[in-house]
Amino acid sequence: MVTTTDFRNGMALLTGAVNIITTAGPAGQAGFTASAVCSVTDQPPTLLVCVNRSAYSHGLLLANRKLCVNVLGSHQQHLSALFADRNVSMEQRFGGTPWSILHTGSPALDGALANFDGEVVHTHEVGTHTVFYAELRQVRLAEAPHSGLAYFDRCYHPVERPH
């Protein structure tokens, strides 16, 4: 039997990109930090995001059925902590940071390495989480090259672009 502690300790060694997931719509606006993001297929362009059902943002994401995955660069590490802090309101999370609106209306972080804007086309529940599958409607890439931001062994690490 695999213990929760062993699973979490092992997963801490699986390097992941750091993202802020946003949604906006009739249910409201929300955003949170996530590393559980993965491409599914490029025909049609689809990715998945895993969200704990106990998270505040879960219900809004489920109701709005749209999201934007904002891939953080190393210069945006502070935003990861801000959007992960449960004691910070949504207004405080979004305030003071420049955002744009792409196809779905979900906030797209200006200066992110990439913004993947999509509509939720499928969901399914696994354990404590819901897996959201989003078909992409728009992708915006950063104009200026930045280093990436990875999370490994419970710490942030910059990832430099090759020259």
Inside any domain, residue 33: yes
Angle value at C-alpha 25, between 23 and 31, nearest 5 degrees: 20
Inside any domain, residue 123: yes
- Residue range 134-142: average pLDDT? 97
pLDDT > 70: percent of the chain: 99
Q: What is the pLDDT of residues 10-33, one digit of tens each?
A: 989 888 999 999 999 999 999 999
- Residue range 150-155: average pLDDT? 94
Give the phi and the psi of residue 95 in degrees, each rounded to 5. Answer: -70, 140
- Residue range 61-73: average pLDDT? 97
* pLDDT number for residue 161: 80
The number of distinct structural domains making up the chain is 1
* pLDDT number for residue 4: 93
* pLDDT number for residue 144: 74
Angle value at C-alpha 14, between 124 and 73, nearest 5 degrees: 90
CATH code for position 84? 2.30.110.10
Q: Write the Ramachandran bin of 116: left for phi over 0, alpha for psi from -120 to 50, otherwise beta.
A: beta
Q: What is the pLDDT of residues 92-133, one digit of tens each?
A: 999 989 999 999 999 999 999 999 999 999 999 999 999 999
DSSP secondary-structure letter at 73?
B
Domain that holds residue 108: 19-159
Inside any domain, residue 6: no
Query: Is a pLDDT exceeding 90 seen at residue 3?
Result: yes
Inside any domain, residue 98: yes
Of 44, 47, 2, 3, nearest to 21 by C-alpha is 47
Inside any domain, residue 8: no
* pLDDT number for residue 39: 97
Query: Is a pLDDT exceeding 90 seen at residue 146?
Result: no
Query: Is a pLDDT exceeding 80 seen at residue 145?
Result: no
Inside any domain, residue 4: no
* pLDDT number for residue 27: 97
